Structure 1
Amino acid sequence: MSKYSSNLNSNETDENNENIQLIWLDNSNCPTHIQSKLVELNLTIQFSIDLNQCITLIQSIKDKQIILIVSMTLAQTILSQIHSYPLLISVFIFCSNINEQQKIKLMNEYKKILQIYSDYNLLIKSIEQIINIIEQQILSFNLFNQNKDFTNDLSKDSASFLWYQLLIDILKQIPVNEQINNHIFETSKKFYKNEINQFKKDYIKEKSIQLFNEKYFIRRILNQILRTKNIQLIYLFQYIIIDLYDQIQLEKQKYQNKQILKLYDGQKLLKTQLDQLNQYIGYYITPNGFLSVSFNRNNSIALAKSEILSDEYQSILFQFEINPTYQEITFVEIHENQELIFNIDTVFKINSIEYDSSLQLWKINLINDHTYRNKFQTYFQSIKNFRNENSFLIFFGHLFTELDQLQQSEIYFDILLNSLPSDHEDIASIYNQIGNFLADKGQLKLALEKYQHAYQIRQKKLPNNHPHIAISLNNIGLIYKDEGNFDEALDYCQKALIIDEINYPKDHVLKAMTIENIGGIYKEKHLLPKAQSYFLRALNMYKCVLPRNHHFLTDILNSLGKVYCDQGYYDRALTCYQKAFSISEINYRNDHLQKAQTIENIGLLYKTNGMLKKSLEELLKALEMYKRIYSNEHYDIARCFGHIGLVYEASNDLNSALNFFNKQLNMDEKSLSNDHKNIQIDIQWIIDIYKKKGQLEKAFEFCQKKYQEKKTLLGEKHPMTLSIFMTMIDLYDDPNVKINYYKQVLSLYENLIPPDPYGTIKCLDIMIHFYIKSNAIQEALNYQIKMVDLQRQLLTNDHINLALSLQKLGQLYENLSKTNEAEKCYKESRIIFEKYENNHNNIESSHMNYSSNSNLNHHEQESNFTKSRICVLL
């Protein structure tokens, strides 16, 4: 097993598989035996004794239908606040002594109350019945617009449609790894284990349809894990999913009836869901599991009109008209149940949607259309060509990313790595993708290892100018960029561009990505006109090869906007951000990461312009969107906390600033690696606020606490530990104590294995500043010479940071009346500065930005929240 297989140690196995969220609210604890019975009904049930926490929990649920069980004492209070919440579908109340008059009044006032019970057993039985009915009601379709132009654009709906169409082929390509399966099985809930053990005893391939039909548990869990795309459990049940699929195919081949079949399914849909389907008449749709439908129209109508759900739900009768002679549609008929089970990749066409006033329900008429296959293949091939992707296994993993299911994508690629043979043709691409995940988490050293491993495999197997080689070069370059090694980064990305020029002499999306990445490196080097030039070139190329409002344009416009902002062209920057937001609005009807990032950039632009009130409004808007996008802690949320803190600091509201900086640090510590540079920045910002408030003792206590934590977690000689120690040294009053500690830290930096030259430069810079402040100019000069010598080893001869250091060295020589030496330094620095004449606004602020810890020296520096384009395609 690889190091990366630790992902399988999470408890993700049981998360997000339930369609229903059961919530128990009482101001005393639920009896243990009742808890056990409720857990069997709903594995994710939440028990609460706190009213406000329960309300927050209900309002945070976005994708499950909620059943609330509440004591009579709390019923009126909570229902007055959450009864209208659309995902709350049913309420049960329990109490020991039922007042009939109070019961009638409450049920008349709150229509979602199904019943009030005093008997626990009756309550449990009723809840079980409602869950079973709702489980049968849940149907979700994935849409595919066969009439759209094949513009290489992959929407979220289309990605989900493709996912279900490809799943069986993918599962058949992945070998079974018993070690992984045993681990998944062992981490499953006890309820799962008992059911699965019993199921395994009864299972043989030929009985898969019978068991799916007779075992409610297996039908329920299969459709749950397929609906949620839980790849761990799908892999665990790989054999039954494949067997069931194949057996249904065989049964269809034996089917002799050639008459048109009419089938029905009674459902409840939210009005918003119905409105959405009304927009998609003529589209193809596929269900998200093995769909069961009935021959009995009356039973289906009764189910559609049942009053188990709230008034927000509409009664729907799906009417299927199926021509069984079409080979594209496969099913099995279950005679004893008067039902038909469709295979997972079945495709229907929405023929019409109409309201039947006599039945008082909506009819959605679906047909099977055998012409969809050619249109689907054309679309699928256009997507593959656009992505330069020949592997179905890799393409399937990227569909998770398109669906914003990054964790599932990560688990999927880990399963591939541990299941496929080491010489498999996709192994390099799998390592590359795992590198992407690690880079996204800020684990740069591990990411670089994976990228380099992928690169080495590709060098051995592929021609020198193969597109995959360019992708590896790009990704390695971006890691060096994130580490602050910009010259190395530029070298790798420019090599990638040479290969792209050979493979794509005309405009191409991959070449545009490389150009965009080079622009990002120049931006970090503070060569802003060059960065602007590359971003504009990439933008124009994207416009030539992509649809007019493709989502890639959002990122490049954000990057270009940041470059304009850094040069003081605020109107141009705002125009870029507004265009970016307009495109994200077109692509994403609901919340999306690109939207949130663009809003955040607009907020930061307002802050730069001193429009603090407008800045705060935009940043709070971005924060709320991030919170809706991410269900747990995430560094995007943490970063937004930090920027809100900066606005409060600029407004001189230091208490609010401190509050948001603490939130930022707490979340970063939960979501990032222990040595991530963002955590170091967070710590510094908090210390700076304490200093501004004049609370030096609190600043020292806080810094000392963080130093001890990092010393324990990372070791005394880790660069982050040393950096925090330097910050703590600065808080000492005694100058002799300070300088002795600084010398100790410098010695540690100079003897680190592997070396950390940028940490050494930072330490030298602090010491030089200390000696200048103490008027010890000769000592400052000695360390400044040391710094320049080190920078000459690391930087290009025309680097802005070298010019700034030479300028300071000249000033120190001048202070000591060493005019000849001073003039030499000034002359060399002037030659470099002349190359930056268009960047005069940025020269002063750029000093030390080359350091990996640059943000620590520039408290006010904000970031651009669109990343360089990691080549996630392969």
Structure 2
Amino acid sequence: MQLIWLDNSPCSAHMKSKLFELNPTAQFYTDLNRCITSIKSIKDEQILLIVSLTLTKNILCQIHSYHLLMSVFIFCSNINEYQKLELMNEYKKINQIYSDNELLIESIQQTINIIEQQILSFNVFNPNKDYTNDLSKSSASFIWYQILIDILKQIPDNEQINKKIYENYNEFYKNEMNQLKKDYTKEKAIQLFNEKTSIHKILNKTLRTKNIEFIYLFQYFIIDLYDQIQYEKESCENSEILKVYYGKRMLNIELDQLKKHIGYYIAPNGFLSVSFDKNKSIESAKTEILSDGYQSTLFQFEINPKCQQVTFVEIYDKQELLFNIDTIFKIHSINFDSSIQLWQINLINDDIGKNKIQTYFQSIKKFRYENSFLIFFGHLLNELDQLQQSEIYFHILLESLSSNHEDIASIYNQIGNFIADKGQLKLALENYQRAYEIRCQRLPNDHPHISISLNNIGLIYKDEGKLDDALSYCQKALTIDEINYPKDHVLKAMTIENIGGIYKEKYLFSIAQTYFLRALNMYKSALPPNHHFLTDILNSLGKVYCDQGYYDRALTCYQKAFATSEINYTDDHLQKAQTIENIGLLYKTNGMLQKSLEELLRALDMYQRIYFNEHHDIARCFGHIGLVYEASNDLDFALNYFNKQLNMDEKCLSNDHPNIQIDIQWIIDIYKKQEQFKKAFEFCQKKFLEKKNLLGENHPMTLTIFMMMIDLCEDFNVKSNYYKQALSIHESLIPFDPHATIRCLDTMINFYYKTNAVEEALSYQIKMVDLERQVLTDDHINLALSLQRLGQIYETLSKTDEAKICYTESRTMFEKYEHNQSNIESSDRKSSSESNAYQEEKELNFTKSRICVLQ
């Protein structure tokens, strides 16, 4: 349950205190748009909104239909009956309009009490499916709760972690935790859970939302409660079949899903309290608080106490049973009972379900080459799109486990994944290399986990543009995979896919295509039909077809990818959004700009529903929409979306992420097209100063933006001095980056040559050739082109002898290159290849390299 307050004026301290008592995580807003953004970011909690009359229509016209908004309370000092009636008729979720704060608080309390009884939900597990790696969200959640206690018992209690988490929470939570620990004993766990309403609510909310920090804080209590229920069940002598009930309002879509799963197993997402009183449960199911889109449902449990796999304790004073968190039930039947006007869901218990789950655990462990359910538990959070909770979990493991724990390398590897996703490549590489070093020390040279580390290091090098290094690491990984998996295997297919991605970045599209096709066929062989992995590889294959101009083939791949994601995910999903985005970009490539815009806006809507707040996927989609507007010559719209992209990337990515540099360049390009050169220069200068303050003058990102700024400068002398300053900084970098220095020199030479400062151009061209001789092979195409340009400059200055020497050496290099490569381009290759690479970056269809997350 989430309580949200909205008013133009700040909430009073007294009212804040009262609302915190009702809901410790209550949020308070004075800004309408921020409030709406927060509400739309909530994915798995019911919402109660308290809003002033002045803002009621402004917010309800935008969020009234949101299915998680349960009830709206309006406060107003003065309103006539006609206005009140009109407003409540228009917006059915309005509970009432209050002028008295005490009545408002009392009404909110009553509503919370009713909804709290409705909150618990169930996760479904298909016992007849061969899962391997094919988990639905419901199944992943089901498994997560089944292994939670075992995981908590493996994680050492760490006082420093507890203290750090404790300090981050408000006074209400601190007081509750202090009260719980006061005179606490293990034997009191069941009593405290039933008598302390606040602890009951906090604990079940913590479990329901999978709040890892709070689960860690309550670790001792959750384990004790579980063990005590287990102990009470073992001492239970009752052998009669027990009938108990649980009434709730259920969303139509949830009920429809359950109807499709008769015979499947379900489990609650917390400690489930059920009643012996059927009438009381029916009354709870028929509450009018939840109306639109909900059905009254009565869960009827028939429990055989002799069954070893169901554990519970009877709460006699409440006439209730309290089930343990890992108790599972089988859906026996679902039917509408017209006599009581509600849906009845009949559940039974048996010992078969637990056995099937254990069989599944063994198959998933074998498939993923898992050594530990500690790691698998965190991966399940990834499957559930709980990436923040997963990251917190792995950091807790890193801090609480000993440095020689068997899973420590896998933890570094997983943390590297999170950091890489944020664009912090250097830090991600450090974590991957740490994992690799530990694995090399502890494992055989051909162990699958070493292959995974090699893959991840290779993918970082790929993202850094070090493609030869990337290829070397991934090819070493493939060698190990060939040893471990002589036949088709998913992990080998992943490595092959990664190699294909590297060849794509090297613009060797036909080779990339070969690898992607090989990976696709291997996935088809090793996985069930329509497995979600096929979506990614089909997107990658579609991209290389697009790169080669095979647009029909590309569209076919994207359509197959989308159809596969539709089978796996009925709701919004990242793979769906990415595929729609790719289709939109393909339409742009074909000049179908209106269709492109429609698909990209559709993808954007899905991204915004998927992510809680800002995310670089949303930012990238903003940029692609901007590209369509740019192609349509709607430059103001393009500028607007490029600014949105930059603003979001600056919030989501590291300060030196290469995407930010591209975002800045796109905005400058629009200003240039609008002939607003002064604005372009001022914008670039602003970004240069920002990066200089954040990263330092000598940082490559700062230097790159400085070079952009120089390009926009119109005064020859100022521009020349800036260039010399930039070159001086490049030459003093530690460690020295010769390639960045060569790029700087190349830009300077073009400037001086075009402005007839040929002597200056000559001095820098000589310097560039000398540097390239140090870092390039003697038959490298770029060195040949540089010598050719040096000859042209000598020729312009009438220094024919020097020009002839340069031309002769250049021609020899071209002949060597032609012999070695069987492919030589025109003398414009160097400058055009850079231009093409930049354009390729602008037109890039989105395909995400999969960083192996298995261990």
Where on the TM-score scale, by shorter chain, does this alignment land: which range? Answer: over 0.9
Distance 1:340-1:795 versus aligned 2 partners, 3 A rule:
farther
Specify which of 284, 291, 301 is matched with residue 310 of structure 1: 291
Hey, what does 1:6 align to over in structure 2? none
Hey, what does 1:7 align to over in structure 2? none
Quote how far apart the aligned CAs of 1:235 are.
0.5
The answer as to whether partners of 1:209 and 1:244 remain within 8 angstroms in 2 is: yes
Take 2:156 and 2:582, find their aligned partners in 1: how far apart are those partners? 45
Matches within 5 A, 1:39-78: 39-48=20-29, 58=39, 61-72=42-53
3-state SS of paired residue (2:247): strand
Take 1:324 and 1:584, find their aligned partners in 2: how far apart are those partners? 42
Q: Does 1:420 align with 2:386?
A: no
The answer as to whether partners of 2:585 and 2:845 remain within 8 angstroms in 1 is: no
Q: Does 1:445 align with 2:430?
A: no
Quote how far apart the aligned CAs of 1:430 are.
0.8
The answer as to whether partners of 1:813 and 1:822 remain within 8 angstroms in 2 is: no
Hey, what does 2:813 align to over in structure 1? 828
Take 1:530 and 1:831, find their aligned partners in 2: how far apart are those partners? 23
Quote how far apart the aligned CAs of 1:336 are.
0.6
The answer as to whether partners of 1:269 and 1:314 remain within 8 angstroms in 2 is: yes
Hey, what does 1:17 align to over in structure 2? none
Hey, what does 2:597 align to over in structure 1? 616
Hey, what does 2:475 align to over in structure 1? 494
Quote how far apart the aligned CAs of 1:865 are.
2.3
Specify which of 552, 561, 580 is matched with residue 599 of structure 1: 580
Hey, what does 1:133 align to over in structure 2? 114
Quote how far apart the aligned CAs of 1:799 are.
7.0
1:167-226 Cα offsets, whole Å, 9 max, x none, are 111110110110010111111111101111111114211100000010111111111111
Specify which of 342, 359, 364 is matched with residue 323 of structure 2: 342
Hey, what does 2:361 align to over in structure 1? 380
Take 1:219 and 1:799, find their aligned partners in 2: how far apart are those partners? 71
The answer as to whether partners of 1:351 and 1:366 remain within 8 angstroms in 2 is: yes
Amino acid at match of 1:156: K
Quote how far apart the aligned CAs of 1:58 are.
4.7
Distance 1:820-1:844 versus aligned 2 partners, 3 A rule:
closer
3-state SS of paired residue (1:90): strand
Hey, what does 1:771 align to over in structure 2? 752
Task: Give the RMSD, CA atoms, in angstroms.
Answer: 2.7
The answer to which of 855-864 and 771-780 deviates more is 855-864
Q: State TM-score, norm by structure 2.
A: 0.94
Quote how far apart the aligned CAs of 1:513 are.
1.1
Take 2:180 and 2:666, find their aligned partners in 1: how far apart are those partners? 57
Amino acid at match of 2:315: I
Hey, what does 1:253 align to over in structure 2? 234
3-state SS of paired residue (2:340): coil
Distance 1:796-1:141 versus aligned 2 partners, 3 A rule:
farther
The answer as to whether partners of 1:528 and 1:839 remain within 8 angstroms in 2 is: no
Matches within 5 A, 1:554-593: 554-593=535-574
Matches within 5 A, 1:348-363: 348-363=329-344
Matches within 5 A, 1:350-749: 350-749=331-730
The answer as to whether partners of 2:787 and 2:806 remain within 8 angstroms in 1 is: no
3-state SS of paired residue (2:853): coil
Amino acid at match of 2:806: E
Amino acid at match of 1:288: N
3-state SS of paired residue (1:266): strand
Take 1:259 and 1:800, find their aligned partners in 2: how far apart are those partners? 86
Amino acid at match of 1:237: F
Distance 1:311-1:711 versus aligned 2 partners, 3 A rule:
closer
1:268-303 Cα offsets, whole Å, 9 max, x none, are 112122112111211111110000000111111111
Take 2:422 and 2:787, find their aligned partners in 1: how far apart are those partners? 37
The answer as to whether partners of 1:560 and 1:573 remain within 8 angstroms in 2 is: yes
Structure with higher RCO (Cα < 8 A, 6+ apart): 1
Hey, what does 1:277 align to over in structure 2? 258
Hey, what does 1:189 align to over in structure 2? 170
The answer as to whether partners of 2:787 and 2:809 remain within 8 angstroms in 1 is: no
Specify which of 19, 30, 34 is matched with residue 15 of structure 2: 34
Amino acid at match of 1:92: F
Distance 1:122-1:770 versus aligned 2 partners, 3 A rule:
same
Amino acid at match of 1:182: K
Amino acid at match of 1:230: N
The answer to which of 455-464 and 114-123 deviates more is 114-123
Take 2:247 and 2:827, find their aligned partners in 1: how far apart are those partners? 65
Quote how far apart the aligned CAs of 1:771 are.
2.9
Distance 1:859-1:703 versus aligned 2 partners, 3 A rule:
farther
Amino acid at match of 2:246: D
Amino acid at match of 1:748: I
Amino acid at match of 1:521: I
Take 1:52 and 1:436, find their aligned partners in 2: how far apart are those partners? 33
Take 1:421 and 1:502, find their aligned partners in 2: how far apart are those partners? 32
Distance 1:778-1:291 versus aligned 2 partners, 3 A rule:
same
The answer to which of 811-820 and 553-562 deviates more is 811-820
Amino acid at match of 1:309: L
The answer as to whether partners of 2:779 and 2:813 remain within 8 angstroms in 1 is: no
Quote how far apart the aligned CAs of 1:594 are.
1.2
Q: State TM-score, norm by structure 1.
A: 0.92
Quote how far apart the aligned CAs of 1:779 are.
5.0
Take 1:29 and 1:271, find their aligned partners in 2: how far apart are those partners? 38
Matches within 5 A, 1:292-303: 292-303=273-284
Take 1:835 and 1:419, find their aligned partners in 2: how far apart are those partners? 55
Q: Does 1:121 align with 2:102?
A: yes
The answer to which of 83-92 and 581-590 deviates more is 83-92
Quote how far apart the aligned CAs of 1:509 are.
1.1
1:615-652 Cα offsets, whole Å, 9 max, x none, are 21111111111111111111111111111111211222
3-state SS of paired residue (1:515): helix
1:119-163 Cα offsets, whole Å, 9 max, x none, are 221221121121012111112111111122345422222211111
Distance 1:73-1:499 versus aligned 2 partners, 3 A rule:
closer
The answer as to whether partners of 1:292 and 1:339 remain within 8 angstroms in 2 is: yes
Take 1:760 and 1:583, find their aligned partners in 2: how far apart are those partners? 47
Distance 1:453-1:599 versus aligned 2 partners, 3 A rule:
same
Hey, what does 1:24 align to over in structure 2? 5
Q: Percent identity?
A: 74
3-state SS of paired residue (2:331): strand
3-state SS of paired residue (2:182): helix
In structure 2, stretches of 5+ residues that fail to align are none
Take 1:380 and 1:842, find their aligned partners in 2: how far apart are those partners? 61
Quote how far apart the aligned CAs of 1:740 are.
3.0
The answer as to whether partners of 2:460 and 2:470 remain within 8 angstroms in 1 is: yes
The answer as to whether partners of 1:528 and 1:567 remain within 8 angstroms in 2 is: yes
Take 2:367 and 2:782, find their aligned partners in 1: how far apart are those partners? 40
The answer to which of 632-641 and 24-33 deviates more is 24-33
The answer as to whether partners of 2:543 and 2:847 remain within 8 angstroms in 1 is: no
3-state SS of paired residue (1:282): coil
Take 2:701 and 2:404, find their aligned partners in 1: how far apart are those partners? 39
